[in-house]
């Protein structure tokens, strides 16, 4: 009986540490101007730049706005918070604390996840209240938002493993990935309309599956099976989590 109790106690300690890290980021970084710009304002202006003048119904545009808002907001906390903490040497104390790197990566990802959920509710509410855009299926919307937010929060944590004290260095690398994802994931161009040469790349984008689920909540149909969408997002989360743990271990040995 001692061993299971010990395992449960260790798991609780790791989860408690992860939540403590997330709360620290929430308290310190959520209202920083560069996070507000990159996580909320930038996706809005980018969406408007491509949406204004297009003859599309709100039911077509709102899901895309929700998807790219999650992409940018979820991956914007860690690339700012971790380099700043390296600069002031608090991150060194964090990784040397008596908690595993799994808890550190999970906690950092959790802060981006929670921030993204809050930001995503804004276009979601605007679609319902202002544009009267009905949601016909709640199930894919909930799972689409939750899994996509955690996926890209983990991706942001992964990029933040790069050992620099400048948030701009990580943001530059991150944008080289985030911007192409928008155009190959069915946000502005339906997956069915992507040229044949790009169809293979579509499968490599986690945003493809998140956007597919969110679109399904407004239209009732998906390009892929919803179970495939959720399974692929879980696979990307696992890949990003494992890769992040290995990189943080490598760069902090």
Q: Confirm if 109 and 241 have CB atoms less than 8 A apart.
A: yes
**Residues 220-244: what's their mean pLDDT?**
92
**Number of domains present in the structure of the chain:** 1
In a domain? residue 1: no
**Residues 91-101: what's their mean pLDDT?**
79
In a domain? residue 114: yes
Per-residue pLDDT reduced to its tens digit, 12-26:
888 888 888 888 888
To the nearest whole number, what is the mean pLDDT of the chain? 84
Instruction: Quote the domain boundaries for residue 149.
Output: 12-251
Per-residue pLDDT reduced to its tens digit, 162-212:
988 898 899 999 989 988 888 888 887 777 777 777 677 888 899 999 999
In a domain? residue 7: no
Q: Confirm if 18 and 110 have CB atoms less than 8 A apart.
A: yes
What gap in Å lies between CA 21 and CA 167, rounded to an integer? 19
In a domain? residue 201: yes
In a domain? residue 71: yes
Per-residue pLDDT reduced to its tens digit, 209-218:
999 999 999 8
In a domain? residue 2: no
pTM attached to this predicted model: 0.88
What gap in Å lies between CA 11 and CA 85, rounded to an integer? 26
In a domain? residue 4: no
Give yes or no for residue 3 having a pLDDT over 60. Answer: no
* Nearest residue to 230 via CA among 141, 125, 108, 98: 141
In a domain? residue 85: yes
């Amino acid at each position: 009986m001692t061993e299971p109790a010990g395992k449960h106690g260790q798991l609780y300690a790791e989860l408690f540490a992860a939540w403590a890290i997330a709360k620290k980021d929430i308290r310190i970084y959520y209202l920083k101007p560069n996070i507000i710009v990159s996580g909320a304002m930038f996706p809005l202006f980018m969406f408007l730049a491509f949406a204004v003048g297009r003859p599309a119904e709100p039911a077509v545009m709102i899901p895309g706005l929700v998807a790219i808002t999650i992409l940018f907001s979820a991956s914007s906390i860690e690339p700012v918070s971790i380099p700043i903490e390296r600069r002031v040497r608090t991150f060194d104390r964090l990784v040397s604390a008596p908690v595993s790197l799994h808890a550190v990566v999970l906690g950092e990802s959790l802060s981006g996840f929670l921030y993204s959920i809050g930001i995503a509710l804004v276009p979601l509410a605007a679609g319902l209240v202002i544009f009267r855009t009905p949601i016909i299926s709640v199930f894919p919307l909930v799972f689409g938002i939750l899994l996509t937010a955690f996926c890209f929060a983990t991706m942001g944590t992964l990029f933040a493993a790069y050992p620099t004290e400048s948030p701009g260095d990580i943001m530059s690398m991150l944008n080289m990935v985030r911007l192409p994802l928008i155009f190959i994931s069915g946000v502005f161009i339906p997956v069915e309309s992507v040229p044949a040469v790009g169809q293979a790349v579509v499968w490599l984008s986690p945003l493809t599956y998140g956007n597919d689920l969110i679109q399904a909540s407004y239209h009732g149909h998906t390009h892929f099976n919803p179970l495939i969408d959720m399974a692929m997002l879980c696979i990307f989360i696992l890949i990003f989590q494992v890769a992040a743990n290995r990189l943080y271990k490598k760069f902090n040995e």
